[in-house]
Amino acid sequence: MGVIEDLADDLARDTIAAAEELGDEQLVRLVGEQLGASSSTMQEAYLTSVRVRQAELRARKYLEQVRAQAKTATDTT
């Protein structure tokens, strides 16, 4: 990755964690708006990283559910 992508990814990771910690669903959007005010390139990279990371989290949660259901089904037989 380039410098912009690395910085944006670090910021996305930190912002997602802070949003979860604070229970603030709007934080990701607000940070994106702050970036857009000074650098649309950085904002685009940040938003892309946020989408990718959030998609990965949703997929992991789904995978964990499927595995737990399979384990439960196996344990009851």
Predicted confidence band of residue 76 (pLDDT cuts 50, 70, 90): confident
**Residue ranges per domain, the chain?**
3-75
With a cut of 90, say whether residue 77 has pLDDT above it. no
How high is the pLDDT of residue 73?
87
Q: What Cα–Cα distance (Å) separates residue 76 from each residue in 2, 62, 71? A: 50, 21, 9
| Neighbour-count burial for 48-70, b at 16+ CB within 10 Å, e otherwise | ebbeebeeeeeeeeeeeeeeeee
Q: What Cα–Cα distance (Å) separates residue 29 from each residue in 8, 46, 49? A: 14, 10, 13
How high is the pLDDT of residue 69?
93
pLDDT digits (tens, 9 = 90+) for 15-74: 999 999 999 999 999 999 999 999 999 999 999 999 999 999 999 999 999 999 998 888
How high is the pLDDT of residue 5?
96
E strands in the chain? none
